[in-house]
Chains A and B, each alone.
Chain A
Amino acid sequence: MTQPVTEAKETKASPEPVIRISGLRKSFDGRLVLDDVHLEVGRGRIVSVIGQSGGGKSTLMRCVNLLERPDRGMVEVAGEVVHDDGHMVCRDLPRLRRTVGMVFQRFHLFPHLTAVENVVLAQRRAGVPEQEALERAVALLRRVGVAHRGLAQPEQLSGGEQQRVAIARALALKPEVLLFDEPTSSLDPEATREVLSVMRELAADGMTMMLVTHELPFAREVSDHVVFVDGGRIVEEGHPDDVLGSPAQPRTREFLASYGSTS
Chain B
Amino acid sequence: MSDLFMVPWSDYQSELIDALGRTLLYTVVSFAGAVVLGLGVALLRLNRAWPARAIATVYTEVFKNVPLLAIIFLTYFGLASAGIRLDVFTAGALSLIVFYAAYLSETFRSAISGVHAGQTEAGEALGLGRAGIFGHIVVPQALRLALPGTNTFLVDLLKSTSLLVTISAAELMSEGRLITSATFRALEVYIVISAIYFALCYPLSQLLLWLERKVRAGDPLSPWRRRRMQAARALLAQDTSPGDTSPADVGLREAAA
Contact = CB atoms under 8 A, between A and B. Distances in A.
Contacts of A130: 228, 231
Interface residues of B, number: 39
Interface stretch (B103-111, B129-137, B206-214): B129-137
A94 B129 contact: yes
A108 B122 contact: yes
B81 to A, nearest CB: 50
Contacts of A135: 235
A206 B127 contact: no
A174 interface: yes
Contacts of A176: 255
B251 A208 contact: no
Contact of A106 (B118, B252, B255, B256): B118
A174 B125 CA distance: 13
Interface string B113-131: 0001011011011111100
Interface residues on A, range: 35 or more
B252 A207 contact: yes
A97 B125 contact: yes
A174 B253 CA distance: 9
B232 interface: yes
Interface stretch (A145-153, A214-222, A226-234, A247-255): A145-153
Interface string B242-253: 001101011111
Secondary structure of the B contact surface, majority rule: helix
Contacts of B127: 93-98, 122, 125-126, 173
Nearest to A102: B125
B48 interface: no
B3 interface: no
B256 A110 contact: no
Contacts of A43: 256
Interface string B21-55: 00000000000000000000000000000000000
Nearest to A117: B228
A233 B240 CA distance: 48
A44 interface: yes
A258 to B, nearest CB: 29
Given A67-B124, A94-B128, A110 B119 contact: yes
B11 interface: no
A31 interface: no
A112 B127 CA distance: 19
A256 interface: no
A110 B122 contact: yes
A151 B119 contact: no
B78 interface: no
A39 interface: no
A197 to B, nearest CB: 14
A108 B119 contact: yes
Nearest to A112: B140
A173 B126 contact: yes
Given A106-B118, A125-B132, A142-B244, A112 B126 contact: no
Contact of A143 (B122, B128, B247, B253): B247
A170 to B, nearest CB: 8
Interface in A31-74: 43-44, 65, 67
Contacts of A117: 228-229, 232
B136 A121 contact: yes
A138 B232 contact: yes
B236 interface: yes
Nearest to A140: B250
Interface string A96-132: 1110111010101111111011001110011000110
B141 interface: yes
A94 B250 CA distance: 21
A116 B256 contact: no
A205 interface: yes
11 contacts: A95-B127, A97-B127, A110-B141, A112-B218, A126-B127, A139-B244, A143-B249, A174-B254, A174-B255, A175-B255, A208-B256
Interface of A: 43-44, 65, 67, 93-98, 100-102, 104, 106, 108-114, 116-117, 120-122, 125-126, 130-131, 134-143, 147-148, 150-151, 153, 169-171, 173-176, 202, 205-208
Given A116-B229, A130-B228, A151-B236, 15 more contacts: A94-B129, A95-B127, A97-B126, A112-B140, A112-B141, A113-B218, A116-B232, A120-B228, A120-B232, A125-B127, A137-B232, A143-B249, A150-B232, A153-B218, A169-B126
* Top 5 A-B residue pairs of the complex, sorted by shortest distance between their CB atoms: A97-B127, A206-B256, A122-B126, A108-B122, A94-B127
